[in-house]
Structures are given as C-alpha cells and as structure tokens.
Amino acid sequence: MIKIDDYIPIVGQSTIDEIRMLAAKMAGRRVQHINSTAVGGGVAEILNRMVPLLNELGINAGWDLIKGGQDFYSVTKKFHNALHGRPEAIDQRDFDIFMEVSRQNIAKLDTSSDIVFVHDPQPIALVEKKKENKWLWRCHIDVSSPNQKVWKFLLDFIVKYDSAVFSAPGFSQKLPIRQFLISPSIDPLSDKNKDLPQEVIDGVLNKYEIVRDKPIITQISRFDYLKDPLGVIEAYSQVKRYIDCQLILAGGTASDDPEGQKVLDEVLEKAGSDKDIHILLLPQNDIEVNALQRASDIIIQKSIKEGFGLTVAEALWKAKPVVASSVGGISLQIRHKYSGLLCHSIEGAAFAIKQLLHSPDYAKKLGANGREHIKNNFLLTRHIKEYILLFLSLYHPEDVVNL
C-alpha cells in the first residue's frame, strides 16, 4: 500500500508537510465520493489511488457506486455524447429512464456523510437527498458547447449543489453556485506510471508479438468515437506512405459505456489485414499499458472532445513526445512546440508525427519538457491538496483565502 510519504522523493518534503497540515483541519470529517463505475476511465482510476491516501491523512473518505442497467447506461452515454456537442436523438423516454433509475439509487444510497462528492452526470440526481450536509458536483467532461436540452435538464440538479468543479477554464458555465477549477492528475507511483525494468517492457512486446524493428506510434484509450481511433488509423496510413512504422491501438471499455464494442468492431474492420496495426484489448492491465507507452516512439491522442486526457499526462510523465488534439484539458498539458505538438486534423496529426520521426533530438526535448510540466502541475499530490482546500472552503472560507 502506497503511503503519502512515498511521494517525498518526487515532490519534496515541504509539499507533503503542507498536505498534512491542511488535512488536519478536516480531521474526522466524512467525505463520500459517488460515481457510476469502479473500473474503466479516469474517474475510477483517480479515486482508486486517492481515497486510501485521504484516509491515511485522517479524512474519513469513502467511495460508493450507483447502480444502473443497460437502458440507463445507454441513456447516459447519449447524454455524454450530447454534452460534448455530438448530435444525439434524445427524447422524453430517455429522461424518464434516467429519472427512474435515479429514484432507485436515491432510495438505496446512504448520503449522510459530511460532504457528498458526486462525479459526472450519471449520479447527479442524488442531490435530491441533500439535507444539512455539503454537496459537490464534479464534472470531468468537456461541456464547453453542450446540447442545451440535456444541459438544461442537468442544470435543475446542478443548482442544488453547494459548488461545482470543472477540469478546464473553458468548461465553466454560468451558474448561481460557486465554481472551482481543479484539473485531474496521475499517480507517479501507480502500476501505470512507475518505472519499469527493461525486461518487463520486452516481455509485454513479446507477448503481443510486437517487434521493435520500426518506429512505434501508440494511442492508449477506450474504444470510443470521441477518441477517434478511426482517425488515428488514417493518420498512421498517411505517415506510412513516407516512413515505415507501426501503430498500437490499446485500451478497453468502461462498464458504463455500452458503445465500446461497436467502436472496436469498426476499428478492426478499418485496420483490415495490415500486420503493422496492433489492436489490443487491455482491460485494467496497467503494467502492460505502462510498458507499451515506454516502448513507443510517439504517443498520439487524437480526441475529438476530451475532458482532460490522462493518457497524455501519463505519456509526458514518461518523457515521451506526444501528438494530441487541441481540445479540452489537453491544451493545459501541452504547450505547442514546447511540451508536445498539438493538432487540429488527421492531416495535422500525420504531419506532426512525421516531423518527430524525422527529428529525434527535437522529439526527445519535447518529452523532457513535458515530464517537467506534469511533475509541476498534474501529479496526485497537487490534486489531493486542491481537493482538501475545496473541502475546507465549504466550512472555513477564510482559511482558504489566507492560504
């Protein structure tokens, strides 16, 4: 079990001392995180690492899940796409399904903690149980240009929370409640991000019959239309005309995403018989994800929309050159031509990949700059500190101002 002091060699003693000092002001308070899945996606990944550390710091932190069937998650996937601005046919039946499942969860879940911290739209209606305790709504997705029908539906719940939290400045909305900007984070000591011996990396490549005889371009992500895996294959094909290379598309699906298999089938069809395209299903295999990123020459994240893009932070932490879409929270992580290359199209992605493959020294410098940027801004310790300050703001706003 990782302890908070284990981060001292990475972030320094003073950072950990400050976190302990802040946590002491929250001693004994109960904080209850609620979301829709324990596996798959960045929210579950962060909570898996954060909740034990909050408890070690003396904050009584828990984590609960709502329950929902296939119909409910089909609806919330529609909501997810619509909030990202993607066209979706949403009718009254969808809202009725959402509310029926929400009522069931409202009846079953105990939400008596001092602070109830609700993540994303799926559990948002739980705020109907709000009493004298404090409630926070954390939006992890890009709602910069949401479908107004869905947003107005959610807004009826959002306004009942004490505060809302967004990942990037562009996601904030006009709300009658306080808003906070808190970016997600990666854990440098997790299986997905810790240093790996070369023999482990080689073993993973051997397992999937990947030979390092040509540059490796990799995208790690769920099989989701918004991650644009079909566009990644097209960008790779454009690069392949000039530079012999190979592509890895690796990831899995989340338990609350019923669209994943359909996307995977389309990816397999587009890849066809190209033996240099490796499509890998890696359900929660963090060591293998880590090894594949470390073995890669370039990491790509060609998302159409993105709440934050933790895979970008993971790659930059490993000092890898990254080509990524200039969307959502990705632009907080990558300063173009300094800590990576941003793109706006398939052709732009292909051009950037070719540039990096032709200029290995430049690629290495981008990776080194990227690692330093992630160290300074997007590690779990910073995230914990800002969450504790958020909690304190609900009770002691004067303390937060002074800090």
Give the H or E element holding residue 347: helix 346-358
> How confident is the model at residue 206, as a pLDDT?
97
Amino acid symbol at 277: I
> How confident is the model at residue 246, as a pLDDT?
98
**Count of CB atoms within 10 A of residue 329's CB?**
25
User: Which residues have C-beta within 8 Å of that of residue 324, sequence separation ≥ 6?
Assistant: 300, 301, 302, 303, 309, 312, 330, 333, 334, 340, 341, 342, 343
Residue 211, judged by CB atoms within 10 A of its CB (0-12, 13-18, 19+), counts as exposed
Structure token digits, residue 102: 């929400």
**Domains within the chain, CATH numbers bracketed:** 4-185+379-402 (3.40.50.2000), 198-377 (3.40.50.2000)
Let me know: does 370 contact 316? Beta carbons within 8 Å.
Answer: yes
> How confident is the model at residue 403, as a pLDDT?
41
End-to-end, the C-alpha distance of the chain in Å comes to: 30
Measured distance CA(252)–CA(219) in Å, rounded: 12
Measured distance CA(316)–CA(47) in Å, rounded: 21
Which residue, among 252, 257, 193, has the nearest Cα to 220 in the 3D structure? 252
Which residue, among 109, 135, 123, has the nearest Cα to 79 in the 3D structure? 123
Give per-residue burial for 230-254: e unless 16+ CB within 10 Å, then b.
bbbbbbbeebbeeeebbbbbbbbbb
Let me know: does 88 contact 146? Beta carbons within 8 Å.
Answer: no
Measured distance CA(355)–CA(115) in Å, rounded: 49
Strand order in 216-220's β-sheet?
A: 277-281, 246-251, 216-220, 298-301, 322-325, 341-343
> How confident is the model at residue 260, as a pLDDT?
82
pTM: 0.91
Let me know: does 200 contact 394? Beta carbons within 8 Å.
Answer: no
Q: What does the DSSP 8-state code read for residue 128? A: G
> How confident is the model at residue 401, as a pLDDT?
44
Amino acid symbol at 250: A
The per-residue pLDDT string of the chain (403 residues; one tens digit each, 9 = 90 and over) reads: 899 999 999 999 999 999 999 999 999 899 999 999 888 778 999 999 999 999 999 999 999 999 999 999 999 999 999 998 888 999 999 999 999 999 999 999 999 999 999 999 999 999 999 999 999 999 999 899 999 999 999 999 999 999 999 998 889 889 999 999 999 999 999 999 999 999 999 999 999 999 999 999 999 998 999 999 999 999 999 999 999 999 999 987 666 667 888 999 999 999 999 999 999 998 778 999 999 999 999 999 999 989 899 999 999 999 999 999 999 899 999 999 999 999 999 999 999 999 999 999 999 999 999 999 999 999 999 999 999 999 999 987 665 444 4
